[in-house]
Amino acid sequence: MYVLALVTQKGGSGKSTLAVGLAVAAMENGERVAFVEADPQGTISKWKERRGNPYPRVVRVADPAEIEGALSRLEAEGIWLGIVDTAATNNALAMRAIAMADLCLMPVRPSPADMEAAIPTLIAIRRLNRRFAFVLNQTPPRGCRLSEAATSLNSLGVLALPYVGQRNDHQDALGAGLGVTEFAQEGRASEEVRALWGWVSKQLNRDVVVHG
């Protein structure tokens, strides 16, 4: 089983939104996916309550020590991808999620303040020697601010592709208990999330090539 953790101490950057979008895109690709929700805010559990579909499963954890056991149980059930959504505020839970992750995704909005706020999480990821990538999220239509942000993030580490634009479909899908690729199958937001899942799955599958 692969573990993908959505992390950054910056609130509202899109951790839960991208976690949901990627989970559903992966399921649509035939993967067995489950969530470990390590955020007392419960964004993913609340989304799941609105969802008339038993999949993906959501397991909530309140204590860092519970994360490893939750992931092991999911693996024993045959889950291929465990996605851990973390809180901006609960550092201990997020640190444990990072330590367990095959890949950490850090959503960052293209503003200097957001990029600055991601640095402590980046330092923690590097200290724990984990693989990571930034995801530029909630981007405006192309402009020079965007390319400046991309250049800065590229200089700090890997930047996932494509960028994820600011689009209402993400908010509406979350509200409807759907992944964005279920909510507006033909929309640009779906296209971007599917492509982002393609990028992420390639990063995860790289392990298979290296160790296989």
Ligand X SMILES: Nc1ncnc2c1ncn2[C@@H]1O[C@H](COP(=O)(O)OP(=O)(O)OP(=O)(O)O)[C@@H](O)[C@H]1O
Using the rule CB under 6 A, is 14 a contact of ligand X? yes
Based on CB atoms, which residue is closest to ligand X, 41 or 152?
41
x-or-dash pattern for ligand X, window 93-132, by CB under 6 A? ----------------------------------------
Q: Please say whether the beta carbons of 7 and 106 come within 8 A.
A: yes
Phi, psi of 144 (to 5 degrees): -75, -25
Report the C-alpha gap between 97 and 196 in whole angstroms: 21
Among 90, 138, 190, 203, binds ligand X (CB under 6 A): 138
Which residue stretch of 48-56, 74-82, 97-105, 160-168 sits at the interface with ligand X (rule: CB under 6 A)?
Answer: 160-168
Strands 57-60 and 33-38: parallel
Sheet holding 33-38, edge to edge: 57-60, 33-38, 81-86, 2-6, 103-108, 132-139, 164-165
Q: Of residues 48, 96, 170, 194, which one binds ligand X by CB under 6 A?
A: 170
Question: Residue 136: beta bridge partners?
Answer: 108
Question: Is residue 39 within the footprint of ligand X (CB under 6 A)?
Answer: yes
**Site for ligand X (CB under 6 A): which residue of 15, 51, 96, 130?**
15
Beta-carbon contacts of residue 166 (< 8 Å; ≥ 6 apart): 138, 139, 140
Answer yes or no whether residue 41 interacts with ligand X by CB under 6 A.
yes
Q: How far is the CB of 120 from ligand X (least distance, A)?
A: 14
Q: Which residue is nearest to Mg ion (CB)?
A: 16
For ligand X, give the closer residue by CB, 99 or 117. Answer: 117
